[in-house]
Amino acid sequence: MKVLQICHKPPQPSVDGGCIAINNITKGFIENGIDVKVLTISTAKHPFDKKYFSKDYISAANIESVFVDTKINLVDAFSSLITSDSYNISRFFSTDFDILLRKTLEVNDYDIIHLESLFMTPYTHTIRRFSKAKIILRSHNLEYMIWQRLSITPGNPAKKVYLKILAQQLKKYEIKIFSAIDGIASISSQDQNKYIQLGCKKPMITIPFGISLKAYNSGCHLRTSSAKGFRLFHIGAMDWKPNAEGISWFIEEIWPTVLKANPDLELHIAGRSMPNWLVEKEVSNMINHAEVENAQDFMLSNDIMIVPLLSAGGMRVKIIEGMALGRVIISTAIGAEGIDYKDGENILIANNAKEFIDKLSWLKANPEKLYEIGQNGKKLVETYYNNQRITEKLLSFYDKVLGK
């Protein structure tokens, strides 16, 4: 089987969940002997640099990249409001990348064109003109839902109106794109059900985020003893709006109350593109590490991961990674969407200050639960989020779409 994987950002370096998800799909193709070629957009936010790839990876994926300026242009953004075009999508279209795609399709026949995220769907017109391959959308999120949820959170009324318009435009676009693709590999069953509710009749399958288990087998120990306070932590790219919104909500609305009830707790936060307001903000018992060199080491140096998301969609890669390392996760229900969890068994769900306090107090009273819940989370990942099994499932779906 020959697969062309088209990405909205380079698979490496793995600086955020999206990169990790893309990279694991590519690695799954390579490890299963698939003849894969990767074309990727490079941006100021996600530059392409071959130093992050091994020679074997470059050879196996035959990876090529084109720089695209995806920075928001206020004039274009305003114009899109008038024309009803989705600027979130159109800014990822590049004539140079389209030319590279066309040249690639003219000299190669592919069975499957795998589009990483909705942002790559503007290229379906070129794909249809120059290829007979089946087009599969790898849906990382229902993009309109992120903006829809952001539009209903407290904030500037004018900004909320703008976000609502963006959400409406994205929703129309996502429905329109059904006719341009041959199948959807959604990242969660919740997202798959939402596609069905939107009227999608194309073949669909849930392909969650997967990890290579051998990369997470070490260090799943507990850092603290029951006599010491827990070290809470949050890690995530802070230039992703739901992360910035969530951690702001947590430190402003929840952390003071949690700390009052548990003064021996510490909160450690880390992430790429840490905003100045958060770097400069002084918060009791909070340590800001900004971007850390090794995410796994950071997670292992702390005890309990918090995921205070209010407006995300899809599936949180960092939760799967934290579980794989045996860390206890306390997340909002929205943050844990897409994961086949059981509250109190392999994760703890908290949606407000009282629930966070209750969960933390319960852990302090039952410190053995740190290990038990952590190990249950690890078993969940080993059972359902093993990248080898997930890749095999995806390839079987390809065969189905191809009529094999």
Asked whether the beta carbons of 331 and 309 are under 8 A apart, the reply is yes
Residue 126, both tokens: 């070129």
- CB count within 10 Å of CB 301 equals 15
User: What is the DSSP code string of 177-213?
Assistant: GGGG-SEEEESSHHHHHHHHHTT--S-EEE----B-G
Residue 93 phi, psi (nearest 5): -85, 130
Task: Answer yes or no: same fold for 2-210+386-402 and 214-384.
Answer: yes
Q: Tell me: the pLDDT tens digits for 194-222? A: 889 889 999 999 998 888 877 776 555 55
pLDDT digits (tens, 9 = 90+) for 18-62: 888 899 999 999 999 999 999 999 999 899 999 999 999 999 999
Using alpha carbons only, how large is the chain's radius of gyration in Å? 21
pLDDT of residue 137: 95
288 pairs with which residues across the strands? 269
Domain boundaries, the chain: 2-210+386-402, 214-384
Amino acid in the structure at residue 149: R
Residue pLDDT, tens place only, 164-193? 767 777 788 888 889 999 999 998 888 888
Q: How confident is the model at residue 271 (pLDDT cuts 50, 70, 90)?
A: very high
Rounded Cα gap, residues 345 and 234, in angstroms: 21
- The CATH superfamily assigned to 214-384 is Glycogen Phosphorylase B; (3.40.50.2000)
Three-class SS state of 395? helix
In this structure, the number of other CB atoms found within 10 A of the CB of residue 192 comes to: 21
Four-way CATH pick for 2-210+386-402: 1.10.10.10, 1.10.1200.10, 3.40.50.2000, 3.40.50.300? 3.40.50.2000
Per the prediction, the chain carries an average pLDDT of 86
- As a whole number of angstroms, the longest Cα–Cα distance in the chain is 66
Tokens of 293: 């060199």
Q: What pLDDT was estimated at residue 223? A: 54
- Say if CB 202 and CB 182 are below 8 A apart: yes
Looking at residues 116-139, what average pLDDT do you find? Answer: 94
Q: What is the pLDDT of residues 130-166, one digit of tens each?
A: 999 999 999 877 565 665 666 666 666 766 666 676 7
Tokens of 167: 């959400």
Token pair 């997670």 is at which residue?
299
| pTM of the full structure | 0.75
